[in-house]
Structure formats: structure tokens, C-alpha cells
Chain A
Amino acid sequence: MTPAGLLDVLGLRSGYRQGTVLHGVYLSLKPGRILGLLGRNGVGKTTLVMTVMGLVRPTGGMVRLDGDDLTGRRPDEIARAGIALVPQGRRIWPTLTVAEHLELAARHARGTGRSADDMYQLLPRLAERRRQLAGQLSGGEQQMLAIARALVTRPRVVLLDEPSEGLAPLLVDQIGAMIKAMAAGGVAVLLVEQDLHLAFGVADEIAVMAKGAIVHRSDTPAFRRDPATARRLLGIQA
């Protein structure tokens, strides 16, 4: 795979004490494009985003952002370089208010772009609840907050780890619209998803992971036209 994107992952290897999880992942994200990353449970999707973000230490390979080598850097350095993570399970701070979340996230924001006020305009529901503790929000509101928290850092790349998890279909559609809007603003998006409806609805391309490596990559329409591949790689009817 030729590295030519904003974010290039080149032969990335990492894992935990129990063993290696990523066995040489190659991936490339382009500005304004959404890559949907699919795969069965336990194939290393979350480990991949955690490693790119610096939260899991890589044992080999390289992560480059616009040509700069970020491999092995600290998470705070990677975040300041322009990569934002929306983690699985939201991971909001339950004892902080909505406003405090966005203020904290905006402290290290890069250049110009979306501010907390922009987020309130985009998501009036968050504006109504800005003085409320995040732990008291509904699951959908918490997910919106998690995404807004990532966006106010003015990232160049956003890594979304299963943003639809546990949400009602209507809320999933709203999350999908937010993801499309961030890509329309020029952000490169990696969307790790189990929900095929969301992934197919927003992603420009689909990549499939198996056993710690990317085993398939194609445009979303092409992937949808090939249900046999989807069944073989994911074990489901696409």
C-alpha cells in the first residue's frame, strides 16, 4: 500500500503483555475522507486506534502525520500534533459539566476552527445542558459530547471507536451526520464500527481487519456490491 495520506500507518505492530495484537497494519487516511474500519471482535481495531494515539506503545512500524514521524511519542504530543480520539464507551468525565469538558478540550486547540460556542450552535442540546454534569446526560448526549470534545481540539485526524455503541437508531443517524460534517470540514476520519448501517452510510471507503492486519480495502459501494466478501470477512450479511 502506497503511503500518501495525511495519516499514514506503516507496518504498525503493538500489543499487550499477553501477546502481540497488531501484526503489521498499513493504513492511510486522506483529508475530508472517511475510512470505515470493520472487523470481528478481538481483531485489534481498538488496539490500532490506541496505538496510533500513543496510549499503547508500538513495538514496530511507523505512524506519520503529514510526513512527521509520531511513532512512540506521548499521547499529549500526538494530540497536539492534530489527532483526536473519540474512545469506545465515550469515557466522558462524569463529575465535570458539559462546559468544563469543552473548555478543557479547547485549551490545547490548534490554530483556528471550531470553538465551544460553535459546538453549542451545532448541538443545541449540549448548549441547553452546558451547566449539567456529564454523568447525568443520556447515552446519546454523552456520545455527542465525546465527539464535540474531540472537535474543539481542531484536529486534522479524528479516530472514532464505535461511536454508535449502545445508541438508539435515531441517535446513530445524528452521530452519522456529525461525522459527515467533520469530514466536510476537511478532517480525515477513521471510523471503527460494528454497525454496518452507520459505516456504509458515512464511509467513503471500507477496510476490514482480521488477526491484527488489514485484509481488505475498497470503496464503500464496491464493498456493498460484494456480499460474498463481506460474509467471508465479517461473517454477516452485508
Chain B
Amino acid sequence: MTARTRRAAVLAALVVLAAAPLVLNDYRSATLARMLVFALTAASLDLLVGVTGLPSLGHGAYFGAGAYAAGWVALHVTHSAPVTLAAALAMGAVVAVVAGSVAVRARGVFFLMLTLSLGEIVEQLAQSWSSVTGGSDGLYGIPPPEIAGIALADTRSFAWYVLAVFVVGMAALRCIVGSPLGATLRGIRDNEARMRALGYRTYHYKLAAFVIAGAIAGLAGALFAGLQRVVSPGDLGFGSSGAMLMAVIIGGEATAWGPCLGAAIVVELRDVLGPSLGGHGNLLLGAVFVAVVFALPGGLARLRRVAG
């Protein structure tokens, strides 16, 4: 696919996404918004997993921290969308700096377990710091965000708001992947020792990837808080992190749109089809995950490469 056809395909996809809330009912529009939120989170995780080679099992912590920050600001300070987004972005980055400065010193399975542990610590913090987080009840009654004094209370306008933030977040991630920093991260993934032998202090670059991914996940968390109007400790625990990693692997790591496709599939199977299957959405999701791992080790994005 040439750069021109790729641009045309992206533009066409954006037009379809922008037009979708006009024809979809409220439930499907909300599902689309949820897919976009989860897609942005999965894409941010892919910066760690696919681009840098750091398979994190604690990404829900940054997403959840962003959601809590946005929810708390909306409840206690202002509903202004730029402020809640900025608070969530900053909180995701701060939590990622703290967790990343410990985690990126480790490698392989130790890194995986450290990220899992750090995620669990953040979840426990959300459970126990009741005066700020609402404890096990979480934060509820979060008001919808406002832009220029207009509350995005209806599903359609909220879906467009989510799409706009999704586009900005994805554009930022694509710019980073295509930049010299992105090339450095891919170099670290492919051969870290070689990068060090070229003068790179790889710890700093891995930490930078961690913080960027955490900040974007936090941004997605703000969208989630505005969409669900409630944030609870479960949103930043292992279940959330595991689903994000599954989305990346199902869609195809280190691909431009694979994690987004994977996220849409996870939301559809778990949240849309799940209730009609007697709550067995996770079982179906697990079966799909196993099938993709064995039949398409590079994820669904590999289908296009095979076809091409």
C-alpha cells in the first residue's frame, strides 16, 4: 500500500467514524465511543509492547489513574473538557514515571511481573484511599465534560468529542513512532545492547516510552470517565490491563491500526455480545485470543500483509 492510498484509507475511515453517530442509535454510538477509548489505550500500550518490546501487564493503572483524575476534577473543580483531559494526561504520566522508573530496570518476565505488581498496588491505593477515590464504590455521578460552556451530555456529541481526542492521540503516537525517538525505541526492542554500544543510555529512552504511553492512556481514561460517569478500582486492575494486552496481540503489535482493531473486537465480544451469551463474553474473547495466537501469530493486521 502506497503512502497515498494509506492516507486515503485513513481519511475514509475517519469520515465513516464521524458519520456513524448520525445513523447509529444511542447504545451503538456509546459502544463506538467505548471502542475508540479502548483503541486509544491499546495503541498507547502498543508503544511499549510492539514498538519498544516491553510487554506491560499494568497499563490499566495509568488509564485508571487518568480516569480518576478526570473524574475527581470534574466532580470537585470544573467540568471543562480541556482541564479534565490535561489533569488525566498529567496523572497518567506521573504514575507512569513512578512505576516506569522501577519497572524499566528489569527485563523479560521480571518486567512483566513488576508491571503487574505495580498495577495491583495502584488498584489497592484506589480501594483504600477512600477520601479521594471513593474507595470500593469509586467516583460516581461524574458530570459530562463541557466545551465552551456546552455540556456534552448527549451520546452523539460525546462520540464526536471522543473521536476528536482519539484522532489527536493517535496522531501523536504515529508522530512519535515515525520520529528518531521511535527509531531508537525500535532499536532497543531489536537489540538493546547494540544501542548501548552506540552511546545510548537506553534506560532514559525506555522510561520516556513508558511516560508517553502512560500519559496517552491517562488521556483515554478521561474519556472513559466522561463516558461511563463512574470510575471504580476494577477499571485499573489486572482485568483491565489484561484486556488491553489482548487487544494489542489480537490486532497485531507494532502495527499502525492493529491495536485499534483488536480493541474494537475486545469491546464487541466482551461488552456487546457477552451479555447476550449469558455473561460468557470473556470465554468467547479467550477462545478468539487463542485462535489468533495459533493461526495468526502476528495478529489480524498480518492478514493484510499476507493478502498483500
Contacts and interface: CB of A to CB of B under 8 A. Distances in A.
The answer on A and B forming one complex is yes
Interface of A: 53-55, 74-76, 78-80, 84-85, 87, 91, 93-96, 100, 103-105, 107-108, 149, 153
B22 to A, nearest CB: 40
A108 B200 CA distance: 8
Given A104-B180, A107-B180, A93 B186 contact: yes
A129 B183 CA distance: 17
Contacts of A93: 186-187, 190-191, 194
Given A93-B190, A103-B183, A149 B198 contact: yes
Given A93-B190, A96-B183, A104 B201 contact: no
B196 A104 contact: no
Give the size category of B's interface with A: 10 to 19
A97 to B, nearest CB: 9
A169 B194 CA distance: 27
B180 A94 contact: no
Contacts of B202: 76
B186 A75 contact: no
B145 to A, nearest CB: 39
A87 B183 contact: no
Nearest to A78: B197
A80 B202 CA distance: 14
Contacts of A75: 193, 196-197
B107 to A, nearest CB: 15
Nearest to A135: B190
Contacts of A87: 194, 197
Given A79-B197, A84-B198, A95-B190, 17 more contacts: A55-B197, A74-B196, A76-B196, A76-B201, A79-B196, A91-B191, A93-B186, A93-B194, A100-B183, A104-B183, A104-B187, A104-B195, A104-B200, A107-B184, A107-B198, A107-B200, A149-B198
A108 B202 CA distance: 13
B308 interface: no
Nearest to A79: B199
Contacts of A153: 198-199
A96 B190 contact: yes
Nearest to B180: A103
B186 A80 contact: no
Contacts of A149: 198
A149 B199 CA distance: 12
The 6 closest A-B pairs by CB, nearest first: A108-B199, A79-B199, A75-B196, A93-B190, A100-B183, A80-B199
B194 A91 contact: yes
Contact of B198 (A54, A79, A95, A100): A79
Interface in B152-211: 180, 183-184, 186-187, 190-191, 193-202
Contacts of B187: 93, 96, 104
Most buried by A among B183, B186, B187: B183
16 contacts: A75-B197, A76-B202, A78-B197, A79-B198, A84-B197, A84-B198, A87-B197, A93-B191, A95-B190, A96-B187, A100-B183, A103-B180, A103-B183, A104-B183, A107-B200, A149-B198
